[in-house]
Structure 1
Amino acid sequence: MILYPAIDLKDGQAVRLLKGEMDKATVFNDDPASQAAKFVEAGCEWLHLVDLNGAFAGEPVNAAAVEAILERVDVPTQLGGGIRDMATIERWLEKGLKRVILGTVAVENPALVREAASAFPGQVAVGIDARNGLVATRGWAEETDVQVTDLAQSFEDAGVAAIIYTDINRDGAMQGPNIEATAALANAVSIPVIASGGVSSLDDLLALRDCGAPLNGAISGRALYDGALDLQAALAALKA
């Protein structure tokens, strides 16, 4: 199982939100590229980036910070937030992103997900963010009546590389991930699932690994910044 350190970008800085609330942002590093380098030096194999401003604006806002990260480190990197058309997808992949994450458009324009996954095999993931089992879009600000599993299963034949499932109520709260819901989703689809939201300790990571579902990985942010989760120790434990 892969551990994806998260760098959430707001106004050019690396921050963490509490349950997706933009006005509850804690700044952890005003130089995101430096933060990325620290994660890579600790041994991470992937990085997970989110353009928080972009998720609300519907277009990339923190592009300069993302580009600085891509120039600074050489591990595969995935990005979500504000990616809602083919031109933006193409531009980011040309700049060196390994994978783009499509969230809002997966609900509003699923044909784009299919088109992109076909055009760029292995480089398009679907981000499913949910409160109480229902998908939320546009920076988690708008709630839908779409069930998580229904949305995920609708892309079974689309060729997407992964599903990144975030339980919004757990995100940044340091209360542990929603293991039951994550495992249920992973067992309901053949697409690799990455867990996000609430991973706050080594025990959380190991519980996800041993949850009985074939998870591709887990994303952690605040716990790494706060020191509640040691990246090197976590990577070693997952490889053991």
Structure 2
Amino acid sequence: MILFPAIDLKDGQCVRLKLGDMGQATVYNDDPAAQARSFRALGFDWLHVVDLNGAFEGRAVNRGAVERILTAVEGMKVQLGGGIRDLPAIEAWLAAGIERVILGTVAVRDPALVRAACARFPGRVVVGIDARGGKVAVEGWAEASELGAVDLARKFEDAGVAAIVYTDIDRDGILKGINFEATLALARAVSIPVIASGGLASMADIERLMQPDCRILQGAISGRAIYDGRLDPKAALERIARG
């Protein structure tokens, strides 16, 4: 079980959104690289980074901030999402030191690109499925689709996707707890490892993640709970290490 601390980038700052709304952003650190270093010092092995501006604009807007993060935590594994929409962008980020890229909007718009990326970069492509009411949202969550989360995941069953990050938008940033029902339903429906995202609120969620039925999950992402001090990172990592 991997616990991924999240760094969401907006205008070069480390922020957290509420329900995916760019207008409801809380700035937690104006130095994302320093934030990344603090996560490494706490003992995290992975870092989950999202270029929020990039997700809306379809290009790397916070490239400088991401590059500074990579320099600051050299050797730490970083997965990056937000605005990565073509093979040259994927190749460039992987060459820059990103361990895994997360493809969200393009997974809906151009599934063939995801398959091509998986074939070219085995084990380094993650699909991001962001859902509101069970339906997939794209373009930085600004647009809804009629595609169900499970239906989208099944499109990549044999593509070689390293993992699926499943985000329940209705839980994101409001500390209401992970939507275990929907997350586990998705994990049971496909053979691709699933990472829970959205709503992780406290050690109660960590304890739930350690229950036998959650062993099919690859991990979970935590943002606001860590920043607000509701989740003690060291205690969470120690609990996960105990199994």
SS across alignment from 1:180 = helix
Give the match for residue 238 of structure 2: 236
CA contact (8 A) 1:209 1:215 kept: no
The Cα offsets for residues 153-176 of structure 1, whole Å up to 9 and x where unpaired, read as: 110000010000000010000110
Separation in structure 2 between the aligned mates of residue 28 and residue 232 of structure 1, nearest angstrom: 19
C-alpha distance in structure 2 between counterparts of 1:208 and 1:151, whole Å: 24
- AA in 2 matched with 1:239: A
**Whole-Å separation in 1 of the counterparts to 2:210 and 2:53:** 31
Query: Residues 162-177 of structure 1: matches in 2 within 5 Å?
Result: 162-177=163-178
Aligned AA (1:103) = G
Which segment is superposed worse, 172-181 or 206-215?
206-215
Partners of 1:9 and 1:121 in 2: CA distance: 27
Name the structure 2 match of 1:136: 137
Deviation at 1:108, TM superposition (A): 0.3
Q: Deviations over 1:19-61 (max 9, x none)?
A: 0000000000000000000000000010000000000000010
Q: For residue 41 of structure 2, what is the aligned residue in structure 1?
A: 41
Question: Runs of at least 4 residues of structure 1 off by over 4 A?
Answer: none
Q: How many residues align?
A: 240
Counterpart CA distance in 1 for 2:228 and 2:212 is: 25
Structure 1 position 21 matched with structure 2 position 21: yes
Matches within 5 A, 1:43-122: 43-73=43-73, 74-122=75-123
Any idea what SS the aligned residue of 2:170 has? helix
1:184-228 deviation line (CA, Å, top 9, x unaligned):
111111100000000011111221332614000000000000000
User: Which stretches in structure 2 are left out of the alignment for 5+ residues?
Assistant: none
Quote the residue 1:5 is aligned against. Answer: 5
CA distance in 1, matches of 2:233, 2:102: 23
Partner of 1:145: 146
Structure 2 distance, partners of 1:67, 1:83, is 15
**Does residue 177 of structure 2 align to residue 159 of structure 1?**
no
Check if 1:182 corresponds to 2:190: no
Secondary structure at the counterpart of residue 212 of structure 1: helix
* CA distance in 2 between partners of 1:64 and 1:133 (Å): 34
Q: Distance in 2 between matches of 1:175 and 1:87?
A: 38
Preserved contact between residue 179 and residue 211 of structure 1 (Cα < 8 Å): no
Question: Residues of 1 paired with 2:98 and 2:193: CA distance?
Answer: 19
Q: Are 2:227 and 1:225 aligned?
A: yes
Would you say the 8 A contact 1:183–1:211 is kept in 2?
Answer: no
Q: TM-score, normalised by structure 2?
A: 0.98
What secondary structure does 2:80 align onto?
A: strand
CA distance in 1 between partners of 2:234 and 2:6 (Å):
15
What is the RMSD computed on CA atoms of the aligned residues? Answer: 0.7
Measure the CA separation in 1 of the matches of 2:235 and 2:18: 25
TM-score, length-scaled by structure 1: 0.99
